[in-house]
Structure 1
Amino acid sequence: MKIVGFHELGPDRWNPLAASSPEAWLTHDAAWVAIEERFFADTNLSFGLIENGDVVGIQPLYLNEGGVFGERLLHSGIHRHTGLAIREGIDRSTIRAVRSAAMKQIFALAELYDVDRIQLNTHNLAPANRSASREEIPFWVRDFGFHLGIAFGPHGMMPCPGLSTVNADQLIDLDPSEDELFANLDDGCRRAVRKALKAGLEFELATDRSALGSYLEIARESAARTGEVLPPADYYEAVLESFFSQGRAHLLFARAQETRLAGLFLLSDKNAVHFMAGVSRPDELNFRPNDFLHWSAMLWAKRAGFQTYRLGPWFPEVPRDWPISKVSYFKTKFGSEARSIIQGSMFRRPEKYIRELPAIRDNLECIGHRAAPASLTAQTGSEFVAHLLRVFGFPQASASSDGTPVVLYRPQGTDVAMAREILAGGRAVAAVLPAVEFAEAFAVVAEARTIGSAQVLRAEMAGAKPWKRLRTLHSYMRFAAPDGVPIVSDDEGRAAWLCLGTAAGGPIMFIGTDLVSDIVRYRQGDPAAAAKRPTEAMWGFAGERPNYLFDGQLSGESLRERPADWWCEALADALARHCGVSRLPMLPNGAVGAIVVTGDDDQAALSCYAQQREALGSTPVTYFLHPLTKHTASTLKQLKSGRKVELGLHPDALEHPDRYADLFAEQAQWFEQLTGEGARTVRNHGFLNDGYWGHATAWNAHNVKGSSNLPGLDGCVLNGSLLPAKLLLDDKLTEHWSVLTAIGDGIVFVHGWDDQQSANCIFELAERIRNDGVPGVIVVNLHPENIAKTQGMHHAVRKLVEDGFIPWTMSECFEWFERRPGQSGSTVRKRFALPWS
């Protein structure tokens, strides 16, 4: 079999095979190969294969140097894919011979030019790839050792041996009716098309090559906005010169009267249309010309008899904020089907790419990764559940074998021996999401129940208590055992939690819901929501607030419920009721609730502090001092005289949220100079937020003990809990506590409430806590500056204290729940000098 170079073969012999081969498309055409040679390739190494004087195969092939990692690359088209095209109708043995000869030539050229990598591919619009005979595994992978697929980073190809990223070509089958095609558009796309039609946009198919001037004008306007580097105008002119008159290159426009708002550059061949490029005027995007133009182009293609409309690749695996995803995601909204792009590499110098692994490690960790509590280590998950149990009255709860109960998160078969040893000592074990082999060791059968949305379960022993309704946000396991006692059941009556007595001695609870993921999601919000931060003001004030992190799990639910607390109470009740583990009162002396009064300084006049002191009497207060406070060291000393006052920091970064860490460090130093002590508690000015607890990094770096930076405003239990707990961040249980600010005096201004209405808000939350039967901590934020309009709220606070709610400062609240283990009641009272002693 003879190898003949592209130029030696000539278009007259090259093009007939390109036109007839089912493995070829327009990018195989000799004119296109010439365009690649002129504009993109350093060297054109394309060749044909001759057998008995006949052309039996053609292989476009190019050499480029200095690309990714400075590589020397031999390839069959980047983006404009080709591949080996073989004459139709030849026998299988000749096909094998053509393929073998082509690969021998490719390897010889690779050796000759000393390339670092060879990249081969096929074109998805070639008839063979649109048919049932499509070869998903190309011969050069099956027979010649290539690696299928290519790895991509945020900005494009990032090849490395053994790594690949799904590159999903978006193809639209034009066979369905126009009504069906429109129904297949996603909702937003349909709305955009309707909006464009209502605005009077019109579709135009250019009949003259001179329309390229309009296209390039729009392209330059678009590039000025996006920073995109455009191919030279000569490139577009060359494409039109070669293919426009043949009806294989097309210019289409969206037009408002005589003004062209957007343009499409399409290629067509063999009953298929390919979106090559598109542009739109930045100032006209509100008319949605891009959606309109692609929809109109689809209709034009269908009516012209084309079968397939190709939008091009999208990368479904990579993070949505990567540039390659941002610029390609729009291709998925036109009702397309995804077809993988067949491409792959042979690495002649793998070490050249492996050396780059440290530089691309962060990118690799983003692909196929979901930042979720499921990535927790077993130890961290166990520690978190044990921590919550300590809050709920089990001071000896532990993730280690010396506690009671002992919490095991995702225990495996290797943990069975340890569990049996704990049970042999008569102590209880809580096994959260046990592995199948762990459950089988105790004769418990486990099965998965997957859910697509939140699922409501029921606590069997809750009676009429509100914590009977338990709502999981995640799929769960169900258990069955001959002597097992159902603790939590689903809508089919199957046990999601099961308690089992054992011959070894102590009881074991099998917990099939992901307590860690559920409670973290409720208490701390959804990390995925941080990628879609709101831009509009909330309550009339600018600045990002954390509320949007919680909207997803609260949608359709009562904002007065405490789903995070209900899960903890169900577990605590089961341990006490079925496992015989002693439970202590959650609050001192078995109090039904506690109240923490805070006051954001916000540069209030000192006379307002005096008025507030009178309104609150001896009730403890935590004041968060603003960096521009009017207080001095001497006025603070006077403020604290004769009653319990805690001072915390009210950091202000509203005008420069991007400088929060630096501003916090400066303001923390200022606070220490003013007060003589480091800040133990914090609330951001304006409840400023930074994605998913981004500010916690600064808080932890400065040893801030706790925060109350989640706003409930009017008693909304934003985080599903009226109790404090530590933050679980980056697979680590931190030492930082968080508690909801359940009520703020903003209700007077946001809702326009009077003294009675605002006081009732406090009373109603207290009554809910009493009725719940689960203690809660009400944090009420009362700005000194607002004292004249919030007398009713101050009086309500004093009334709750008279009625038995424990009055605490913020630090006292956190200290109680952290330090209670091992301390008697009298020791605690002495330690905190609490008002109820």
Structure 2
Amino acid sequence: MVRSDAHTEGLCPPGFQTFDLELTDPRWAEFAASRPDALPYHHPSWLRVLREACGYRNATVGCADTAGRLCGILPLVEKNSILTGQRLSSLPHTPAAGPLASDDSSLRALLWAAKERVDAGRARWVELKVSEPGFGPLMDGFSRHDGIPTYVLDLPEKPEDLRFGNSRHHAAIARAVRKAGRLGVTVRPASSLADVRRWYRLYVGTMRAHAIPPRPLQFFERMWDVLAPPGRLRLLLAERQSGGQVQLLAGSLFLMYGQTVIFAFNGRDRSQLQFRPNDAIHWTAIMDASASGFRRYDFGEGTGDNAGLLAFKEKWGTRPVDMYRYHYPQQPRMDRGILASGPLQRTQEYAWRLLPPAMTTRMGRWAYHLL
């Protein structure tokens, strides 16, 4: 770890003050609502989910002018890891958050405050996850590393103007959705915690197939309780009548705020994919998002390591958006080492898929809490 002291010569820009921003401060939600670049993760309700489901302590920095008007926020929580010790993160269990500021001076004040907290506090380092390629000299003292790109579909003002990639892809998606309808697939929003728990079983199976630890059920229960009532969360379920019973084929959870809808989590029955439930879900979600005034539909991260998933995102006409991670003090690039693609990784994934689902959920709860 290399600590840079270059920032100690600078101070918080004159005319601004930085302070601990409480979740209950009404200025927080008001400021986020005024910013077109705000994501669902910038709203205080998301940090409330992280606090109540994961136990993280809010450490968010606010920036205000001399009149007390909020002009910037940096969502932060304290996280303890058995690997890295205590750190400040913006944010864990979150693909991107980072600072949200009305101008460069406010942004400079937020970054100054974050570095001050590391230098004067218990946290060893601070991590910011952002979709901006860099802030130039404002990021003095931070190291920057490339993250996994996310794939975004820009939405038109009118749903009838939607086009998914080239004409071939658009026609193929439309055919898949029509096929799903002919086969009796219907898409509806979840209406209760019982729906969430029913979907969770599919989610655990999907994560197990990808050899990824699933997030605990409590995480989704708190998301539902906190985010669903104000309309910042939507769980769409694809179902079909079979043998006199309603069969759940797939479900996707979306986070919504400002101008952005984020496809966050998916669970599906792999034996039922011939009914094209995921195509039906995304078609419904995208049409509804466009009609509701959203302008950005984020399909989430994707890499060449999962060619099928990447092809699914790209066929909708998405564009890749580069993601970055900034660290202070400067951190060396993490070498995947034994986790890199290769025979050992494939062996680990095979062993993971042999574990009982109940064991994978317990291990997921441990991994997300302690790592």
Question: What is the DSSP-based 3-state SS (H/G/I as helix, E as strand, rest coil) of the residue aligned with 2:109?
Answer: helix
Q: Which residue of 2 aligns with 1:61?
A: 76
CA contact (8 A) 1:314 1:329 kept: no
Q: Which residue of 2 aligns with 1:109?
A: 117
Shift of 1:64: 2.6
1:288-327 deviation per Cα after TM superposition (whole angstroms, max 9, x unaligned): 2122221222122223332221101223xxxx4x36x665
Residue number among 292, 295, 306 corresponding to 2:280 in the alignment: 292
- Write the mapping of 1:184-263 to structure 2, written as runs, cut at 5 A: 185=169, 189=173, 192-208=176-192, 210-223=194-207, 225-257=209-241, 258-263=246-251
Residue number among 77, 80, 84 corresponding to 2:91 in the alignment: 77
Shift of 1:344: 2.8
Question: What is the DSSP-based 3-state SS (H/G/I as helix, E as strand, rest coil) of the residue aligned with 2:273?
Answer: helix
Inter-partner Cα distance in structure 2 for 1:346 and 1:314? 22
1:332 alignment partner AA: E
Shift of 1:275: 0.6
Shift of 1:168: 2.3
Inter-partner Cα distance in structure 1 for 2:123 and 2:168? 45
CA contact (8 A) 1:171 1:337 kept: yes
Q: Does 1:283 align with 2:267?
A: no
Q: Which residue of 2 aligns with 1:99?
A: 107
Q: Which residue of 1 aligns with 2:163?
A: 180
Question: What is the DSSP-based 3-state SS (H/G/I as helix, E as strand, rest coil) of the residue aligned with 2:164?
Answer: helix
CA contact (8 A) 1:56 1:86 kept: yes
1:401-451 deviation per Cα after TM superposition (whole angstroms, max 9, x unaligned): xxxxxxxxxxxxxxxxxxxxxxxxxxxxxxxxxxxxxxxxxxxxxxxxxxx
TM-score, with length taken from structure 1: 0.35
Residue number among 32, 40, 44 corresponding to 1:26 in the alignment: 40
2:282 alignment partner AA: H
Inter-partner Cα distance in structure 1 for 2:285 and 2:336? 44
Inter-partner Cα distance in structure 1 for 2:210 and 2:338? 25
Change (3 A) 1:98 1:210: same
Shift of 1:329: 5.1
Q: Does 1:144 align with 2:140?
A: yes
Q: Does 1:269 align with 2:253?
A: no
Q: Which residue of 2 aligns with 1:337?
A: 319
1:388-410 deviation per Cα after TM superposition (whole angstroms, max 9, x unaligned): xxxxxxxxxxxxxxxxxxxxxxx
Change (3 A) 1:138 1:84: same
Shift of 1:328: 5.2
Residue number among 297, 301, 312 corresponding to 1:309 in the alignment: 297
CA contact (8 A) 2:40 2:257 kept: yes
CA contact (8 A) 1:206 1:253 kept: yes
2:184 alignment partner AA: G
Change (3 A) 1:293 1:312: same
CA contact (8 A) 1:169 1:338 kept: yes
Change (3 A) 1:302 1:114: same
Residue number among 311, 330, 337 corresponding to 1:359 in the alignment: 337
Shift of 1:28: 1.5
Shift of 1:106: 0.6
Inter-partner Cα distance in structure 1 for 2:330 and 2:293? 47
Shift of 1:190: 5.5
2:321 alignment partner AA: R
Inter-partner Cα distance in structure 2 for 1:193 and 1:104? 50
1:626-666 deviation per Cα after TM superposition (whole angstroms, max 9, x unaligned): xxxxxxxxxxxxxxxxxxxxxxxxxxxxxxxxxxxxxxxxx
1:17 alignment partner AA: F
1:171 alignment partner AA: V
Question: What is the DSSP-based 3-state SS (H/G/I as helix, E as strand, rest coil) of the residue aligned with 1:335?
Answer: coil
CA contact (8 A) 1:169 1:312 kept: yes
Shift of 1:287: 1.9
- Write the mapping of 1:554-593 to structure 2, written as runs, cut at 5 A: none
Q: Does 1:2 align with 2:17?
A: yes
Inter-partner Cα distance in structure 2 for 1:70 and 1:305? 42
CA contact (8 A) 1:262 1:279 kept: yes
2:76 alignment partner AA: L
Inter-partner Cα distance in structure 2 for 1:179 and 1:5? 43
Q: Which residue of 2 aligns with 1:132?
A: none
CA contact (8 A) 1:225 1:282 kept: no
CA contact (8 A) 2:63 2:71 kept: yes
Q: Does 1:48 align with 2:62?
A: yes
Question: What is the DSSP-based 3-state SS (H/G/I as helix, E as strand, rest coil) of the residue aligned with 1:230?
Answer: coil
Question: What is the DSSP-based 3-state SS (H/G/I as helix, E as strand, rest coil) of the residue aligned with 1:24?
Answer: coil
Inter-partner Cα distance in structure 1 for 2:281 and 2:115? 44
Shift of 1:199: 1.9
Inter-partner Cα distance in structure 2 for 1:268 and 1:100? 28
2:247 alignment partner AA: T
Shift of 1:360: 6.8
CA contact (8 A) 1:253 1:260 kept: yes
Change (3 A) 1:145 1:189: farther
Change (3 A) 1:359 1:33: same
Change (3 A) 1:180 1:103: closer
Inter-partner Cα distance in structure 2 for 1:103 and 1:39? 27
Inter-partner Cα distance in structure 2 for 1:220 and 1:358? 25
Shift of 1:191: 5.6
CA contact (8 A) 1:271 1:308 kept: yes
Shift of 1:180: 2.8
2:325 alignment partner AA: G
CA contact (8 A) 1:273 1:308 kept: yes
Inter-partner Cα distance in structure 2 for 1:255 and 1:56? 45
Shift of 1:209: 5.1
1:470-504 deviation per Cα after TM superposition (whole angstroms, max 9, x unaligned): xxxxxxxxxxxxxxxxxxxxxxxxxxxxxxxxxxx
Shift of 1:5: 1.4
Q: Which residue of 2 aligns with 1:600?
A: none
Inter-partner Cα distance in structure 1 for 2:211 and 2:339? 27
Inter-partner Cα distance in structure 2 for 1:337 and 1:210? 36
Inter-partner Cα distance in structure 2 for 1:108 and 1:23? 26
CA contact (8 A) 1:140 1:146 kept: no
The total of aligned residue pairs comes to: 318
- Write the mapping of 1:131-530 to structure 2, written as runs, cut at 5 A: 136-139=132-135, 142-148=138-144, 150=145, 164=146, 167-175=148-156, 177=160, 180-181=163-164, 183=167, 185=169, 189=173, 192-208=176-192, 210-223=194-207, 225-257=209-241, 258-315=246-303, 320=304, 322=305, 330-341=312-323, 343-346=324-327, 348=329, 350=331, 353=332, 359=337
1:267 alignment partner AA: L
Shift of 1:266: 0.9
Shift of 1:145: 4.2
Inter-partner Cα distance in structure 2 for 1:245 and 1:185? 36
Shift of 1:206: 3.3
Shift of 1:54: 2.5
Inter-partner Cα distance in structure 2 for 1:282 and 1:171? 25
Shift of 1:60: 0.4
Change (3 A) 1:363 1:146: farther
Question: What is the DSSP-based 3-state SS (H/G/I as helix, E as strand, rest coil) of the residue aligned with 2:188?
Answer: strand
Runs of at least 5 residues in structure 1 that lack an aligned partner in the other structure: 88-94, 125-135, 151-163, 365-837
1:144-203 deviation per Cα after TM superposition (whole angstroms, max 9, x unaligned): 24344x3xxxxxxxxxxxxx35x3221112216367338473776556434423322122
Shift of 1:23: 4.0
Inter-partner Cα distance in structure 2 for 1:109 and 1:76? 14
1:339 alignment partner AA: V
